[in-house]
Structure 1
């Protein structure tokens, strides 16, 4: 089992989706993630891209911390994929810098 944590960026994105069916599918995917069922995931540059094959082709970017924590960084769809990846990588740097100053 994993503990799922979300950044404010991810939460705002999810809440801004107008497609309620997409919100439900994403919520179910996150629930499966809690149980360790990663499904269609691609890893690169230290982050994971959780792919949801519905609607606009949603992507959720995350990092795994320790054995049981997954931090959902941000998300988007296929049309904003490159920008979303760049933002996810920037968030990882910011989070790592914050953790190193504590």
Structure 2
């Protein structure tokens, strides 16, 4: 089993969409369930996830309103956490995650020049 390194995506201005979403969760039990899922992901146990297009995926968490964690994978062992949300905000969350991934790819290309 391959251990996974998780990295929180961050814009140049310091905004980290995943951390902002997670910190905004009021229910401590929900935070604990999401933390447990993150621990399993780090162990290489990706569980329920699917592509949402353009290189972005979502981890699906069967709890409450159907929480989602949006991510992109770089290589075999690096996962970039792009954001989070729930079933109600899914379409907007997916758009935001795709924008973040595109922004990250552009920044990476520019830094390689």
- TM-score exceeds 0.5: yes
TM-score (norm 2): 0.88
1:56 equivalent in structure 2: 65
Matches within 5 A, 1:1-102: 1-7=3-9, 8-45=16-53, 46-102=55-111
Displacement after TM superposition at 1:66 (Å)? 1.1
Question: What secondary structure is seen at the aligned counterpart in 2 of 1:17?
Answer: coil
How many residue pairs were aligned? 102
Contact 2:52 2:94 in 1 (8 A): no
Deviations 1:31-85 (A, max 9, x none): 0000110111011311111000001110010001111100110010000000000
Stretches of structure 2 that go unaligned for 5 or more consecutive residues are: 10-15
Return the index of the structure with the highest Cα Rg. Answer: 2
**Quick one: distance in 1 between partners of 2:24 and 2:104?**
24
Stretches of structure 1 that go unaligned for 5 or more consecutive residues are: none
Contact 2:22 2:31 in 1 (8 A): yes
RMSD: 0.7
